Amino acid sequence: MKTEEIIEKLVFKSRWILAPMYLGLVGGLVCLLIKFGQEFLHIMMTVVDTPEREIVLSILALVDMTLVANLLIMVIFSGYENFVSKIDIDNHEDKPHWMGKVDYSGLKLKLIGSIVAISAIDLLKAFMHASIPGQMLTNTQMAWMVGIHATFIISGVLFAIMDKIAEDTPHH
C-alpha cells in the first residue's frame, strides 16, 4: 500500500474525531433541558404572586432556551450527516423532512436565522428590563445590543447573497 493511500485513508477516517463532539452537544441539550425545567418550575410556583412583566420575561427565557436547543439540533443532525456519516433512519415516521437534505450552505442560513431569532428575543428582554426601576441599561449597552443584532441580520443577508452568487456561478 502506498504512503499516499495510507494518508488518504487516515484523513478520511479522521472525520470520526467529530463524533464525540456531537455527543457533547447532545449533553448540552440535556443541560438546557434541566435549566428549562428549573425555570418552568420557578414560573409555575410563583405565577400567582409574580407581576405580569416578570412572567413574560421568564417565558421569553424559555423561548430563548428552546431556540438555542433548536439550533443545537440543527448543528448536531446536519453537522454529523455532512461531516461524519449518514444517519440511517430513512423509514422512521418522525424523521424531520429537512434531515439529510440540508447542505453546508443551507445549514449556514438556518444557523444565522436562529441566531438572529435568539438575538431578537434577548433584545426584547433587554428592552423590557429597561423599563423596570433599578434594572436600567445604559444607552451604550443598548446601542451595543442593537448593533450586534444588526450585525447578525446583515451577516445573514450577506450569507444569502453569497450563496445565491455561488449558486448562479457556472462550475468548471
Spatial contact of 58 and 35, defined as CB atoms under 8 Å apart? no
Mean pLDDT of the chain: 86
Number of helices followed by number of strands (H, E) in the chain: 5, 0
Report domain extents, the chain: 18-168
Q: For helices 104-130 and 52-83, give the axis angle rounded to 10 degrees.
A: 170
Provide the pLDDT for residue 172. Answer: 56
> Is the confidence at residue 145, as pLDDT, over 80?
yes
Grid cell 448536531 in the structure block, residue: 76
Comparing 5-14, 31-40, 84-93, 99-108, the range with the smallest average pLDDT is 99-108
Residue 41 has pLDDT above 90, yes or no: yes
